[in-house]
Amino acid sequence: MNECKKEKRGGICFYNCDNIEFMKTKPDNFYDLAIVDPPYGIGASNDSRFGKEFKDNTRPNAKPIKSKNYKKSEWDNKIPPDEYFKELFRVSKNQIIWGGNYFIEKLKNTSCFIVWDKKNGESNLADCELAWTSFDTSVRKFEWLWNGFQKQKPEERIHPTQKPNALYRWILQNYAKKGFKILDTHGGSHSHAIAADIEKFDLDIIEIDTEYFKDGVAAFDYYKRQLKLF
C-alpha cells in the first residue's frame, strides 16, 4: 500500500489513503460493521450548479436554492469498482451502504433498506436517500430536515454529499453493539467520526482526498474543543 497518513483521536483513527489498498491489509471479518457512503456516480463532486441559484421546473412551487461553492473534483463521476465491494464484504461482517440503489447489481437482495427522509417539502433536492443493509430486518426510516441552508440543527457543511451527525448516531444506536469495531471507507466530511465518538465506538475512517481529510480531522478537533468549553 502507498504511504498512508494516519491521525488518531482516542478510538477514532483517520486515514488518508486508498480505501481498497487499506482494506487489503486487513484479515477477513476484521470489522463488525461497515457504514459507508461511496460515490453514487452522479457527478455531485463536479456539479455546474455549485455557487449558483437553481430551480427544479418539475416542481412549480419549489423555491430556488443557491448551492454552496464546494470544490470541484472527479470523485463522483463513477461508482466504485468491483474490487471495492469484494474487499468491503471480505473485511466486514455486516454492511450499511448508502446509495445502494445506484449499484444494486453489485449487492444481494435484502429485506432492510434504511430510508433517510430529509423533510424538505417542495424543495428541488431529493426527498430521501436510501441505504442498503445486510441485516435481515424490516425497512426503517429516519427523519431529519436537511434542505440546503435549512437544517434540523445547525451544522457546518464542508462536503457536497455530507450527512448529518444525527443520522450516523441513529444508525449506530440501532445497528451497532457495544464493542463493535467499525469501518468507513469514504470519510468525506467525517460526520461519522463525531457520531462514533459520541456513541463510544472505535472507528477506522478513510478519505483519499487530502483536503477533505484535513478538513474532516479539523472539524472533529473543533467538536472536541467545544466539548471542553462546556
The grid coordinates of residue 185 equal 471507507
Provide the pLDDT for residue 72: 58
Average model confidence (pLDDT) for the chain? Answer: 86
Per residue in 155-193, pLDDT tens?
Answer: 888 888 899 999 999 999 999 999 999 999 999 999 999
Cell 488518508 locates to 16
- Which residue, among 11, 200, 185, 31, has the nearest Cα to 98 in the 3D structure? 185
Q: Report, at the CATH architecture level, how domain 5-229 is classified.
A: 3-Layer(aba) Sandwich (3.40)
Is the CB of residue 172 less than 8 Å from the CB of residue 12? no
The grid coordinates of residue 10 equal 482516542
- Which residue, among 223, 175, 192, 198, has the nearest Cα to 14 in the 3D structure? 192
What SS3 string covers 105-174? Answer: HHCCCCCCEEEEECCCCCCCCCCEEEEEECCCCCCEEEECCEECCEECCCCCCCCCCCCCHHHHHHHHHH
pTM of the predicted model, to two decimals? 0.86
**Between 49 and 202, whose confidence is greater?**
202
Map out the domains of the chain as residue ranges: 5-229
Per residue in 5-48, pLDDT tens?
Answer: 999 999 999 999 999 999 999 999 999 999 999 999 877 655 44
| Rounded-to-integer distance, Cα 161 and Cα 76, Å | 10
31-36 and 92-98 strand pairing: parallel
